[in-house]
Amino acid sequence: MDRFLFLTFGGLSTGAVYAAFALALVLIWRAARLVNFAQGAMAVATAYVGYAVAAATGSYWVGLGAAVLAGLLLGALVERVLMRFVGHANPLNEVIVALGLVLLIQAVLGVVFGNGYRPAPAPFDTDALTVRGVAALSPYDLWVLGAVLVVVVLLALLFTRTPIGLRMRAAAFAPEVSRLLGVDVGRMLTLGWALAAAVGALAGMLVVPTGLGLHPHAMDLVFVVAFTAAVVGGLDSPAGAVVGGLLVGLILSYVTGYLGPDTTPLAVLVLLLAVLLVRPGGLFSSARARHV
Amino acid sequence: MTATRPSARSGVDRPAGPSPLRRLLPGAPATAGPRGSTLLRHLAVAVLAGTLVVLLTNQLAPYQNLQVARVCAFLCVTAGYTVLVGLNGQLSLGHGALMATGAYTVALVQRGFDERGTQGRWILPLSLVAAVAVTALAGLVIGLAAARLRGPYLAGVTLAVATLVPAVSTIFTGVFNGEQGLRFPAETPPAFLGAYFQPERWLAWIALLAALLTVLLLANLVRSRFGRSLRAVRDDEVAARLAGIHVARTQVLAFVVSAGCAGLGGGVYAVLTATVAPGKFPLELSLFLLMAIVIGGLGSLAGAVWGAVLLVALQDLPSLLTETFSLPSGLAQRLEGNLALAVFGLILIVVMLVAPGGLHGAFRTLAARLRARRRAPEH
Amino acid sequence: MTAVLEVEAVSAGYGPVPVLRDVTFAVPAGTIAAVLGANGAGKTTLLRTLSGLLRPTGGRVRFDGADLRGVRVERLVRRGLAHVPEGRGVVAELTVEENLRLGGLWRGDRADARRAQDEVYELFPALARRRRHAGHQLSGGERQMLALGRALIARPRLLLLDEPSLGLAPKVTAQIMALLRRLCDDRGLTVLLVEQNVRSALSVADQGVVMSLGRVVTAAPAARLRDDAQLRHAYLGF
């Protein structure tokens, strides 16, 4: 029972990171109708920036800010310089360009920083606190949960309460009508990419200290898990991404805890296939059929 | 290999297939002449290309022959892959894992015979056939799921498959021996070639035979009614269904064929070094393969040849650079593993942005333009 | 009266296929012009070209005397041109309130946008009752009202309307047509209306522009079109 609780708390904490990462995927899906396969690599790149700044300034928080800022810039850059110019004749084109970006980013990181693991210190203790004899959350887990919660709330407020959020939603749902109403759809798209990459950067900063370490491939598996989380929740639904992330985090925590860490990729694949084949719209999809 | 050039002859006067709609389908080429002649033409091209490469291998040093062998092994994979992605529109990112499946099958079969003390020249072809069969079966399983998935979903699922390789080899460490992987007896040239026959040349011949068989089979498949179905399904599923094409069956079959080719390529790849290990089939391998078919031009078998050649040539680029420019050792070391990655990534991006038809498509457009210009004054 | 909209020899199309050829007509301020014609005559393409969604391949469009060439679509609403596209004018995923807010966002003046929004609710009480409902929950008539109301929030001087009567009950159509007439007479709004429903369009329009296969066949006062039996039979089918 104690072990179950321990795994549950751990699962919620990693699940929160997956949720943030899935949210980044959903943001771009909603804005541009594409799955950003470069999300993982982009997040690694910003995490390198973040931890380099943290090491130089001695402050994790300055590093975190730098990573999020780098995410904003990188996201906007990728949309303005690359994705905008990809032909839409074939829906595979965007995926292929994103995958090219993955190779390019990982190679550049490898050349600049080397392929080895780099230290990425956590700002808080990662040892679980013991409450009445039961190992529960660590201070770092609490920070992760809190940070993701704040981001989710901020995003929700941005999209539902502000004019810019209304513009972004309208531009995503009905680009042509939005243009007729004076919305600069191109700018909203850039903004969507920037926001998504910033959320991804935060997720990257949060996930790196939890045993993964910082290296160019740190996010390969995290991306696949986050994609699964986004699919579980439905690619269209930000709320679904959060719930999907937590759910996948829990499931993987139990699988890893009871069956061993090597089974995780297999569990991810099984979960992904099960959701796609049984309920392709995700658990929270509206009734509309999914195309593309 | 010009096998993929659409037939210039048009057989419009020939009675159309079961449905008149089929002729209206986008992407369906004019019916080729009698089947036999296409097969013969492809066969002639294959024999010619094969002879040329064999003659070439007689002139090459061992390392270069190994390069030729690697190109041929990759060609098996890229040819089958480009048919799936380019002609059928299914983007798989799991072909590296399928290669691994073929490679491990070869290793396990060969070890199985070796442990029983069985020897014989038939073991190699048998193990390769087993590799094709097992991988095709894996392709069937993935293909059944894939037929219900589209675009980014399929890419995501197959990406998850690609991340599985190290995990599976560790979970079933008793069978696959984890990170270390498996060794099996190296392939040696047969005695009748002489005692001093270069082993690498023999390996190149094996790989060449596999590649020629694969490309020959695919070239004919692409020309056949099945090939037209592939394109019809890619272009418009609804129209294809209206034309009487079984969409799901076509997609699954495309995946099976493509996987079988990847299995053969992976098997040959393993034979070249007589070892398999999960580290040889990382996630990037799948992306490298994608680069290879994108740069050649998606859906083009001739492009697949380009891709396979570049895949091998570009991986040698870093060592070539460090030798030529005598770079500082730290930088050289970091470039070693990453330069090819960067180049491949750039190629993927640039080709998709500038010339989505790939090199082969660009050459074809250029050639067509030149021909048009030459013809223009006549009119 | 000066013309608010002047269309001079405009040609346009999709890819190499020309849809509009040499279209010329003008709409005087404060009047309603109805573009009439069969399916495929190029009516919707004409509106899309006028609002910049489609680039003309030739000719020019003047709005208030200024050439619209090179003006970005997003800027047109600020100049006083509103376009209600066919069928899909309402963002189905947003609520009625959000749709209306979207229409006034470009102003930046929240209080003014709020006032304009209240005016729309006054104009269409049905919308006021469904404020919090998403666009896809509305009936066809409510959607049309919402699209029209949202365009009016911009207080445009020129309104381009694509098939406002499509799928609506005759009574609702009549209401909308009457409203357009009132807006023209009271506020000096200029309307360019694309319609299949020739009778109801001619009942409010000042001028009819009859199109066939991408060309203007005739542009004449609406009254004359109503009375010219030959023209009606040839192009308008009644």
State both tokens at C67.
């050439």
Tokens of B35: 């089947």
CA distance B56 to C158: 75
Instruction: List all residues 6 or more positions away from B229 whose beta carbon is below 8 Å from its beta carbon.
Output: B240, B245, B250
Question: Model confidence at B357, in pLDDT bands (50, 70, 90)?
Answer: confident
CB contact (8 A) between residue B153 and residue A221: no
pLDDT score for A184: 92
Going from the C-alpha of C99 to that of each of A143, A160, A169, C22, C216, the distances in angstroms are 38, 13, 11, 36, 35
Choose the mutation target among A103, A256, A262 for the interface with B, i.e. most B CBs under 10 Å. A103
Q: Output the CA–CA distances (angstroms, integers) from residue A128 to A134, A138, A141, A210, A246, in the order listed.
A: 9, 4, 8, 12, 19
Nearest CA to C6 out of C31, C32, C20, C26 is that of C26
User: Could you tell me if A82 lies within 8 Å of chain B, comparing CB atoms?
Assistant: yes
Q: Is the CB of C76 less than 8 angstroms away from the CB of A173?
A: no
pLDDT at C238: 63
**Do residues A193 and A26 make contact, with C-beta atoms less than 8 angstroms apart?**
no
* Closest residue in C to A170 (Cα–Cα): C91
pLDDT of residue B18: 40
In-domain check, residue A66: yes
C74 interaction partners in chain A (CB closer than 8 Å): 179, 182-185
Length of chain C: 238
A259 at interface of B, judged by CB pairs closer than 8 A = no
Pairing status of strand C32-36 against strand C17-28? unpaired
B partners (3+ CB pairs within 8 A) are A
Contact A178 C91 (CB under 8 A): yes
Contact A92 B335 (CB under 8 A): no
- C20: helix, coil or strand? strand
pLDDT of residue B53: 85
> Could you read off the pLDDT of C216-232 as tens digits, one per residue?
988 888 888 888 777 77
CATH number at residue C180: 3.40.50.300
Which of A27, A54, A61 has the alpha carbon at shortest distance from A194? A27
Residue A13 lies in a domain: yes
Let me know if B370 is exposed, middle or buried by CB neighbors in 10 A (0-12, 13-18, 19+). Answer: exposed
Confidence of residue B36 (pLDDT cuts 50, 70, 90): low
- The CA distance from C102 to A188, in Å, is 14
Eight-class DSSP state of A1:
-
Q: Is A222 within 8 Å of A60 (Cβ atoms)? A: no
Confidence band for B35, pLDDT divided at 50, 70 and 90: low
In this prediction, residue B376 carries a pLDDT of 58
Q: Quick check: A146 and A64 in contact, CB under 8 A?
A: no
Q: List the single best residue of A159, A177, A285 to mutate versus C (max C Cβ within 10 A).
A: A177
Phi first, then psi: what are they for B178, rounded to 5°? 45, -140
Rg of chain B over CA atoms, in angstroms?
Answer: 22
Partner-chain residue, chosen from A176, A177, A182, that has the shortest CB–CB distance to C105: A182
From C136, C127, C196, select the one nearest C165 (Cα to Cα).
C196
- Rg, chain C, Cα only: 17
The reply to whether A182 touches chain C by the CB within 8 Å rule is: yes
* pLDDT digits 0-9 by tens, B130-173: 999 999 999 999 898 888 887 788 889 999 998 888 788 888 88
* Residue C13 in tokens: 């199309």
What's the CA gap between C99 and C93, in Å, rounded? Answer: 9
Count: domains in chain C: 1
For the complex shown, is ipTM > 0.85?
A: yes
- Cα torsion at B223, B225, B226, B228 (round to 10°)? 70
DSSP state of A118: B
Query: Which percentage of chain B shows pLDDT scores above 70?
Result: 87
What is the span of the domain harbouring residue C187? 3-90+157-236
pLDDT at residue B25 is higher than 70: no
Helix (H) or strand (E) holding C131: none
Q: What are the b/e assignments for A104-122, b being 16+ CB within 10 Å?
A: bbbbbbbbebbbeebebeb
Q: In B, which residues are within 8 Å of A107 by CB distance?
A: 338-342, 345
Nearest-by-Cβ selection for A114 from B152, B334, B353: B334
Is residue B185 a contact partner of residue B114, using CB atoms and an 8 Å limit? yes
pTM of the model: 0.85
In sequence order, what are the residues at sequence separation of 6 or more whose Cβ sits closer than 8 angstroms to the Cβ of residue A89?
B356
pLDDT of C189 above 80: yes
Q: Where are the domains of chain B?
A: 34-281, 283-379
Chain A nearest-CA residue for C103 = A181
What residue type is A235 in one-letter code?
L
Residue B45 pLDDT greater than 80, yes or no: yes
| Beta carbons of C89 and A182 less than 8 Å apart | no
- C150 lies in some domain: no
Nearest to B171 among A86, A102, A263 (CB): A263
What does the pLDDT look like over B82-91, one tens digit per residue? 999 989 989 9
C192 within a domain of the structure (yes/no): yes
Whichever domain contains A53, its CATH number is: 1.10.3470
pLDDT for B15 equals 38
Question: In this structure, is residue C10 part of a structural domain?
Answer: yes
Q: Is A178 on the interface with B (CB under 8 A)?
A: no
- Spatial distance between the Cα atoms of C11 and C24, rounded to a whole number of angstroms: 10
Number of separate domains in chain A: 1
The shortest C-alpha distance from A210 to chain B (Å) reads 20
A183, part of any domain:
yes
Q: Which residues of chain A have pLDDT under 70?
A: 1, 133-135, 211-212, 285-292
User: Would the CB atoms of A181 and C150 count as touching at under 8 Å?
Assistant: yes
The answer, yes or no, to whether residue B10 has pLDDT greater than 80, is: no
Pairing mode, strands A134-135 and C190-194: unpaired
**Is B108 a residue whose pLDDT tops 90?**
yes
Position B375 confidence tier, pLDDT thresholds 50, 70, 90: low
DSSP secondary-structure letter at A83?
G
Distance CA B278, CA B232 (A): 37
Q: Is A115 on the interface with B (CB under 8 A)?
A: yes
Residue B20 pLDDT > 50: no
The count of CB pairs under 8 A between chains A and C is 64
Q: Which chain B residues contact residue A236 at CB under 8 A?
A: none
CA A78 – CA A98 distance, rounded (Å): 9
The pLDDT of residue C86: 82
Contact partners for chain A, using 3 or more CB pairs closer than 8 A, are B, C
pLDDT, mean of residues C123-151:
89
Task: Name the residue of chain B whose CA is nearest to A268's CA.
Answer: B160
Residue B119 identity? Q
Angstroms from A169 CA to nearest CA on chain C? 8
CB atoms C91 and A177 under 8 Å: yes
Q: Do B and C make contact, counting contact as 3+ CB pairs within 8 angstroms?
A: no
Residues of C in contact with A185 (CB under 8 A): 74
- Chain A residue closest to C98 (CA)? A166
Instruction: Round to whole Å and give the CA distance between A126 and A210.
Output: 8
What was the pLDDT predicted at B27?
42
Tell me if A131 is assigned to some domain.
Answer: no
Q: Which domain does A217 fall in, by range? A: 2-124+140-278
| Contact call for A104 and B349, based on CB within 8 A | yes
- Quote the longest CA-to-CA distance of chain A: 63
Given an 8 Å threshold on Cβ–Cβ distance, is A182 in contact with C77?
Answer: yes
Segment B181-200 shows an average pLDDT of 86
Task: Using the predicted structure, report yes or no on whether residue B5 has a pLDDT greater than 60.
Answer: no
For the record, the structure tokens of B307 come out as: 């891709």
In this predicted model, which residue has the larger pLDDT, B286 or B26?
B286
Residue B21: the pLDDT is 40
